[in-house]
Structure 1
Amino acid sequence: MPAGENAGLSERRSVYLLAAVNLVALGSLAAPVMAGIPLKIDALMLPDQRATALATVLTLGGLAALISNPLFGALSDRTRGQLGRRRPWMLGGTVAGLLGVAALSASDSLPAIMISWVCTQTAFNAVLAVAAALLADTVPESRRAAASGVFTAAAFVGVLPPLVLTALLPRHVDLVSFVMPVAALAVVGVAMTVPDRASSALRAARRGLRAAPVSPAFVAVWLQRFAMQSALSLATAFTLYMIIDRMTSDPVAATPIAMIATVAGGAGIVVGAAFGGAWASRLHRYMPFLVCGAVGLAAGASLRAVAEVPIALWVASAVGGLAVGAYLAVNLALAMRVLPEGRAGTYLGVLNVAETIPQVLVPLVAAGLLRIGQSDPISGASDNYLALYASAAVLALLSLATLPALRRASRQETPVPIHCRS
């Protein structure tokens, strides 16, 4: 088999393995966020206390993710050993994450929920940070949008199994929460075979720590991801409680509706990321995907703001998901395009901060937006979901303000990979 073909097969294998790691890591966080923690808090707190308690728990988890992403990304840039730079952190984070889920399942008080969720977020965000860095190490520039699409799509595929199981088994959420962390041990075990280029990249990282400046294009990529992730978080915040207040008046009956909405949104993200990333790689132009992503998310949030029946909520979730998927694939490819050499772990960890800061701020902001006015104009409930989701739509459109700074990077010509040259 020709050397170029061998290299291409090895590259595709590495992409799929790293995508599988992304799948199980994000999937491990899905069931606790969407059902496990909200239901535990609902059982512990009075109705007028639950939103604040949930916001507090999610904020603390977001802070843990905020710290762990750049920290473990930077540590992996400088780690040396027989296992390479990235792989020790990937394996250690998976083991620690499983232990965190076990502690969360056993929690029977608000402080215990807080501590166990912080540990779980820290561990799995370490896995997410180093998996993204390995992807940047592995894939040449000409195929990064397509690889980013697969990587992003896989993450949201990972959300689907625990959420489907939660919808089918709403009274056994704690048990469902173990499915993906256990699967993660097996997947990461196989992914330990992904090449981890330690020596040359480590020297480049050491040079970069002294000399690599932050480019304006990377700042623009970061700001746009921050705005879009904040809009997405607002658009999906307190979905379970909105369904209870507007549609069911019953937490158990609301859980399957919320899970279907999340599945619809996740499926949209998977399709949008996979097809949008592949299309962007062929066109070598990213700007249309950034625009469609922002406008599509705004449309989905606007529909969610007035949804009174499950079908409207599910359509809103699917529309927003398609848009966000295409956007995320292109955003990650753009970020990898403007990274300094040898600093993938550090810079992609910093990029992930743009996703984790909203986890810290958005629950608190969302809780405040729910208090605007006397009640929800749609349902008459005390929490104003119309104000919450309309704010998400506005913020998604505001993310377009970063486009002028991204115009040149989005059209940059891509080099031909060395193994493909004659």
Structure 2
Amino acid sequence: MSTAEPAVWTGTVSDEQQAKVPWVVGVALVLGVFLWMGPYMGVNVVLLPAKTALLAGDAKASVVAVLSTSAMIVAAIANIIFGALSDLTRSRFGRRSPWIVGGSILAAAAMMFVSWAPTVPLLIVGWCVYQCFLNAIVAPLIAVITDRTAPKFRGTISAMYALGYSVGIYGGQMIGARFLTDQSVGFTVLAVLTLIGGPLAALIMREGSSLAMPKKSFTARMFWEHFSFPTRHCRDYYLALFGKFLIVAAKFSISGFQLYILTDYMMQSADGAKHYVSVISMCMMVTAIAMTVIAGPISDRIGSRKIPVIACSLLVAVGSIVPFFSNDPKMMIVYALVAGTGMGAYNAVDQALNVEVLPSKDTAAKDLGILNLANTGGQVLGPVLAATLINMFGYHALFPLAAVCSLLGALLIVFIKSVK
């Protein structure tokens, strides 16, 4: 903590107590997020499907579906449990650091188990265990934003979190792809990155002791508050949750069918589709990283979270509808540039908005963990709705679907009252 922060830790920092942007905390978040997201994406998108194909053969698609479904269920439960446990932790190392460090060690071990798994059942078990311990990192690490950052700087620090997130998404896939023909080495490299992520982030941010914070007695009321969905003072919280859910669904309703859009709707050959996928991915990565750097500080400067989030959602809607009017593959590049700009800026400010609608700082990690489930839910709902409409009406219907989801998400954010 900076010297401006209170000597006895209270779990949050006010604008008066923090005179400067806590850059050290921001750096810890960039590295901490990158070092869990990168390995996760490298395994989930590249190495896990490759290993599944070796073990399951023609049944690989069904096994991937089981892996995805089971991972989503485990992640949902683990987010709540580990978030709540970190909220309740009292130690000389703070509330978040013990879980971030422990989660990194155990997630790395579970990743090595996945690499070794000789059968499909053991692969599924190992992947679920990995998801469990991965979320021991995720939920506490997000809560560092509300713990260590004054409200006036949360846009900037949220943007730094999003920077690590964005680089991890694309960088992790690139790292995983390099080891596609040597999977065991790839798993080992990514496990090592996971292993060092938590300890490195904890060392950099140097969380203060939480021993002086009031301890909670184990009662039915305490259990309900810390291990369940919020039920009091949570109107804006749920508006943010479902708004995020719809905006993420808008993105993944298109990205989940990107290859098929190019081959079946835009009539590209395999080589043509490969070319455009590379260009689209590069556009999305560049716009995401660029807007991540810009949007957070702008949000702090204008003192608003809602306006940037709403504007970003409108950009996603505009970009999503463009391919509806033409099956020229260049329209997907326009989509990538416009919607990618929107999603990049959205990711930068979204966590700052989430922090400011929390019902209670005492359950911050648990409640942020639940909000994070909107990412998972949106990634599932978007492709499911898209597949249904494609089967009924063809690919034209996919683009209005994404636009409508994004607009509805923006509308829900408009109704939030407690945040500017």
Distance change in 2, residues 1:202/1:132 (3 Å): farther
- What's the counterpart of residue 117 of structure 1? 127
Does the Cα contact within 8 Å between 1:58 and 1:359 map onto a contact in 2? Answer: no
Match of 1:159 in 2: 169
Residues 363 and 170 (structure 1), Cα distance of their counterparts in 2 relative to 1, 3 Å cut: same
Q: Look up the match of 2:11.
A: none
Alignment correspondent of 2:46: 35
Does residue 243 of structure 2 align to residue 224 of structure 1?
A: yes
- What secondary structure does 2:94 align onto? coil
- Residue 10 of structure 2 corresponds to none
* Deviation by residue 1:274-312 (Cα, 9 ceiling, x = unmatched): 211110100012333122221222233335678978765
Of 59, 74, 79 in structure 1, the residue corresponding to residue 84 of structure 2 is 74
The TM-score, its normalising length taken from structure 2, stands at 0.79
Partner of 1:358: 378
1:195 pairs with one of 204, 207, 210: 207
Residue type at the aligned position of 2:207: P
C-alpha distance 92-386 of structure 1, shift in aligned 2 (>3 A): farther
Mark the CA change 1:187 to 1:167 in structure 2 (over 3 Å): closer, same or farther.
closer
CA distance in 2, matches of 1:217, 1:152: 22
Q: How does 1:81-230 map to 2 (within 5 A)?
A: 81-107=91-117, 110-166=120-176, 171-172=181-182, 175-193=185-203, 194-199=206-211, 201-203=213-215, 209=225, 213-230=232-249
AA paired with 1:185? L
Which of 267, 273, 285 aligns to 2:286? It is 267
On the 8 A contact 2:356/2:419 being kept in 1, the answer is no
CA–CA separation in structure 2 for the residues paired with 1:172 and 1:306: 43
**Aligned residues, how many?**
395
Alpha carbons 2:247, 2:378 under 8 Å: kept? no
Instruction: Report the counterpart of residue 356 of structure 2 in structure 1.
Output: 337
1:419 paired residue number: none
What is the CA–CA distance in structure 2 between the aligned matches of 1:240 and 1:36, rounded to whole Å? Answer: 19
Mapping 1:200-349, distance limit 5 Å: 201-203=213-215, 209=225, 213-239=232-258, 247-249=268-270, 258=277, 261-303=280-322, 312-339=331-358, 340-349=360-369
Confirm whether residue 21 of structure 1 aligns to residue 41 of structure 2: no
User: What is the match of residue 399 of structure 1?
Assistant: 409
- Quickly say closer, same or farther: Cα 1:201–1:157, change in 2 above 3 A: farther
CA displacement 1:343-386 (0-9 Å, x = unmatched)? 2112211211222233454555455445335xxxxxxxxxx555
How far apart in 1 are the matches of 2:36 and 2:188? Answer: 12
Which SS does the other structure have where 2:207 is aligned? coil
CA distance in 2, matches of 1:283, 1:258: 36
Listed as ranges, the gaps of 5+ residues in structure 2 are 6-16
Q: Distance in 1 between matches of 2:44 and 2:281?
A: 11
* 1:81 partner SS: coil
Cα displacement string for residues 90-121 of structure 1 (whole angstroms, at most 9, x for unaligned residues): 11221222233323334565544433332222
> Percent identity of the aligned residues?
23
Distance 1:270 1:227 in 2: 22
* Superposition deviation, residue 249 in structure 1: 4.1
| C-alpha contact 2:67 2:127 (8 A) present in aligned 1 | yes
Letter in 2 for 1:21: G
Structure 1 residue 67: deviation in Å? 1.4
C-alpha spacing 1:268/1:218, structure 2 compared with 1 (3 Å): same
TM superposition shift of 1:25 = 1.2
Residue 13 of structure 2: aligned partner:
none
Give the counterpart letter for 2:149 in structure 1. Answer: V
Q: Which runs of 5+ in 1 are unaligned?
A: 374-383, 412-422
Contact 1:229 1:358 (C-alpha < 8 Å) held by counterparts: yes
Confirm or deny: 8 A CA contact 1:280 1:330 kept in the other structure.
Answer: yes
- SS of 1:83 mapped into structure 2: coil
1:11 pairs with 2:17: no
C-alpha contact (below 8 Å) 2:28/2:201 kept by paired residues: yes
